[in-house]
Structure 1
């Protein structure tokens, strides 16, 4: 039998083993103290000017200045001004020695900006030289560039028609008065079979939503997108509902079923977009055939193994949406992570063996889809959307590198639910908005101690994870119109935060408890009337999980046995009473039966109101609903709650009375000129061993401008991490700002940590690369909002895919940054002048850039100078 609910069962809560926690804690351990040694010199002081030969002490070591320096931290860079002499003892010399240099020497540059020269010496290089990049050179000729969302990849050479769905601020043009998206998953299986309540396209509140995702299509045995459309009677294209008001077929279309109905109502509501969602929990690693039998042929895991298979799939996706009138493709791949035993247990035999390759293959898939959809969109005169359903758990995201696919997505839908469930015994919220510092699973795994008291099983943490590389408006949070639950709960507050292990751990369902390794125990999932929308195992047995639509829980709360229970083959009697509860910190909503000790958690009015306010207040893109059929209305004639649209109405009312969503990646004004600097990430450990997260980060200069040594790279990272990034190759990383510090109880306070590092000796020539190793602790997406400063100017980078920038380039020469024939416009080098890193001079028919402080060193004869170009 096909599963009745096809729920997004998401095992996100696997515990950290003792080894993992130990490794995590080791990262934060303090450095060993230096042994006693020579007396420490005068302590280094920020803002004091030091000259070559002076000695200072800093954090238990003595240092000697190699040249003039001001505010550079000793030891921050192996290429910097300070030479380490050795460890020193506790004896501190006179803090005011007579040999302290004159703090105001006449030749000293302005002591405030560390590399800015004296602003008024006659020999200072022209701060606006004629070789400044041409401000009129756009980086793309697409006439619709003005409408492209910030950070969205555009297929090279293709004029994607962004303005068909985006405005000139890069915001999506939304229907029904909405300022934020309201995205509902419409499922294929609520057809009314076996007298169960049906939910058809005619039941969708079309005047309150912005997007609909049809769940699900799958990858067929031929590697193409399929809904079993060749099989007679399939729900998507060959089914009718005679006598059901509103379900009449539109004769315009050569097919019937859900697809006919979706297009029928889309004509009446032309602003609402529809996307076909491919995959899902049950069909990520296989698919259901026309008889409802699961074919375990590998699904995404198999399709992504070769580019030829990816091309076949992507071509079929374009053909599919053209044939059936969809506006885009939603990929629901659960999951392309390098963590072991992640996803559907039926797929472990293939996913675990290939987990080291899954993420790179996912990148190939998403890039290919983006490019083929862009090409098709240009041909058809409409922009086709590409979106994903992404996990919210830090455990799963740790195995997804830095989410390099974000650039290909119109937006991401975060599956910020299934954060707790009966796959283990820790009783918590299905979809907490915030952390409270007491999550039972995280506490048991030592996560709070390991990660600066930041908990990662909540919607707010996940939204900030993606905010690290995307504008707020390209992020939608998921809300569950369904529940999860346990029975036999002990402890906690009305069950919340308690424990409910299955008494007989030898009877755990597949993929739960001990089968996951470590000390995990499976939970005692709620069953019977508390498990209306339950899945079935391969033998047809009920999977205990407490999955119910919200309308059923409202009936239980009122002590009402609905007239639908027999259709779901569950008991038709209620034991005990259900009381409703809401936690003001986490915004978790739940129902507690004190007689049976049953705890059931899901989102109704209180949680949905909190999340709609969160989206509006944070400027996020919107909400994604799994699934619409869980919404409720009250049938007064029957005296019971049934399928309806009350929660969607609540969301719509809030998200149509707010400011437009945030459309910019950065929270600061970015430069309008950019250079083609790209960043790649590699050498990640597998997710289970990715402690700390320690990839190689490679900067590649694809411009024709030499990036000199000492150029300053500034970038942001998500506050989903603790803000303690390290750099391991001597570039000298410095955190210069943090929007959040401390625990995340009640939410992270801001979006970004901001860092600076300096390009090392040798710079980055045109076409060249330089790499280093970064280290951080909790998952985050890519470094973002790169600015690079040198030669008195700051540039954005094409790595960020910024909107409406002009592309900087060397105006003369042969394209390698060392061209001939240009005029020497930099000021002539003067032997007695002081120059600091990044300043440019001309000498002997060439221009040079200083790597660091210098005086009297002749350009072309000393390593302090980088030759920039030949001139006259």
Structure 2
């Protein structure tokens, strides 16, 4: 990938921000022509705070996305995909058992009592019907549910069994009934178009309770190859290409455990988690940017991290640019008790304490001054006490334009329920992806 300077990209993106939106065909069941991949995570637990797939439709997000990653599916101690109704283990109720009323339904039709598929899975299937360009994949693992990936990937037999269980459950749609009328053979067919692996992380450095082994990097390669083999085998029968993607760390140490040229042969693309580069786990600071596009001048961190650095590292190690998707946050990390500092903007200053995360839909209405460093592709809000590190809509457009200008595969966002009711952040990404 040619190395672009941040100054050139800033100028190009400024032009994109001022340019009128490019029109594309949409309506009448015809899929819009969207440039690149636009991946958005829908969280399983979001329905309990009032976010549903109807919101994805009414906000305009659905028409500007190519893939929804449904987060998450769990991996059992036996190395299998499964559904359950147990706190911290699984939520089949949210997935496919919860009756959805007409007011929350994507098409305005309430779930019937006897239908075998309800909940978010049924609404996702309805959302895809309204948006022909949109595909859905089940994301397996995540920070909390990556505990047994190492065991599932350990041997040829365990890999075959694990992959078969995931395809049977989610792609073939053979959902268990779990003591209710919902589920049954083929009940979830047509919901998912593939698999996303969110193993955090092969070889360790994830949640402290996760199983990890030195050979995880090699076994990750073999696991992805087995997923590709079984998905292609299934695809020959259904005459369909099933997606296979994975979320990977924006961390050189973790990236270097992966056999990227070999992994690239199996996956459609990798989603780089190029956010959470700084955050509340750093305690009393200094306040810093969680998702800089380029290195920030004056950053006091001992290791300079940025999305561009992570992208270049993955590509140098063998991941093709077109299979590299840049991750962006739809939320902020915060520090409190932050002094203004010499520039009065709170950046790189000691903090009294770390704060919680704030979704953009709430943050946009909070008091404070928004600061943007276009050369580095970062933004933050500071109110004289609290420092919020997040991406404004304009910075998201910048990052999407960066993806286009450097020939990358697209953008990925965590998570859709953090956007506002107007889909402002997804629309900002869409604008940059049209550049």
Q: In the alignment, is the contact (CA less than 8 A) between 2:78 and 2:152 conserved in 1?
A: no
Shift in Å at residue 553 of structure 1?
0.8
Within the candidate set 623, 641, 655, 2:411 is matched to 623
Within the candidate set 185, 193, 199, 2:41 is matched to 185
Instruction: Determine the C-alpha separation between the residues in 2 that align with 1:274 and 1:210.
Output: 8
Q: In the alignment, is the contact (CA less than 8 A) between 2:264 and 2:323 conserved in 1?
A: no
Aligned position for 1:321: 171
Shift in Å at residue 488 of structure 1?
2.6
SS in 2 for 1:184: strand
Q: In the alignment, is the contact (CA less than 8 A) between 2:101 and 2:111 conserved in 1?
A: no
SS in 2 for 1:408: coil
Change (3 A) 1:203 1:176: same
The 5 A counterparts of 1:34-433 are: 175-191=31-47, 193=48, 196=49, 198-204=50-56, 205-228=61-84, 234-247=93-106, 248-249=109-110, 254-285=116-147, 299-319=148-168, 320-323=170-173, 324=188, 325=190, 326-337=192-203, 342-347=205-210, 350-351=211-212, 354=213, 356-400=214-258, 404-424=262-282, 425-433=285-293
Q: In the alignment, is the contact (CA less than 8 A) between 1:277 and 1:329 conserved in 2?
A: yes
The 5 A counterparts of 1:293-692 are: 299-319=148-168, 320-323=170-173, 324=188, 325=190, 326-337=192-203, 342-347=205-210, 350-351=211-212, 354=213, 356-400=214-258, 404-424=262-282, 425-442=285-302, 447=303, 455=304, 457-468=305-316, 469-490=318-339, 491=341, 493=343, 494-500=345-351, 524-526=353-355, 531=356, 547-557=357-367, 578-594=368-384, 596=385, 598-632=386-420, 643-655=421-433, 657-658=434-435
Aligned position for 2:7: none
Query: What's the C-alpha RMSD, in Å, of the aligned pairs?
Result: 2.4
Instruction: Determine the C-alpha separation between the residues in 1 that align with 2:235 and 2:427.
Output: 33
Q: In the alignment, is the contact (CA less than 8 A) between 2:79 and 2:158 conserved in 1?
A: yes
Instruction: Determine the C-alpha separation between the residues in 2 that align with 1:364 and 1:610.
Output: 36
Give the gaps of 5 or more residues in structure 1. 1-173, 286-298, 448-454, 503-523, 532-546, 558-577, 633-642, 659-872
Instruction: Determine the C-alpha separation between the residues in 2 that align with 1:470 and 1:200.
Output: 34
SS in 1 for 2:270: strand
Q: Which has the larger radius of gyration?
A: 1
Instruction: Determine the C-alpha separation between the residues in 1 that align with 2:269 and 2:92.
Output: 34
SS in 2 for 1:311: helix
SS in 2 for 1:610: helix
Shift in Å at residue 480 of structure 1?
0.4
Which whole-Å deviations, capped at 9, do the CAs of 1:235-258 have from their partners, x for residues lacking one?
001012335243545669621011
Instruction: Determine the C-alpha separation between the residues in 2 that align with 1:552 and 1:232.
Output: 27
Q: Give me the TM-score of the superposition, normalised by structure 2.
A: 0.80
Change (3 A) 1:236 1:496: same
Change (3 A) 1:492 1:410: farther
Instruction: Determine the C-alpha separation between the residues in 2 that align with 1:580 and 1:180.
Output: 29
Change (3 A) 1:612 1:402: closer
Q: In the alignment, is the contact (CA less than 8 A) between 1:181 and 1:622 conserved in 2?
A: yes
Change (3 A) 1:186 1:392: same
Instruction: Give the number of the structure with larger relative contact order, counting CA–CA contacts within 8 Å between residues 6 or more apart.
Output: 2
Shift in Å at residue 176 of structure 1?
2.0
Q: In the alignment, is the contact (CA less than 8 A) between 1:249 and 1:256 conserved in 2?
A: no
Q: Give me the TM-score of the superposition, normalised by structure 1.
A: 0.41
Between 1:600-609 and 1:381-390, the stretch displaced more is 600-609
Shift in Å at residue 202 of structure 1?
1.1
Give the gaps of 5 or more residues in structure 2. 1-29, 174-187
Shift in Å at residue 215 of structure 1?
0.5
Instruction: Determine the C-alpha separation between the residues in 2 that align with 1:422 and 1:206.
Output: 32
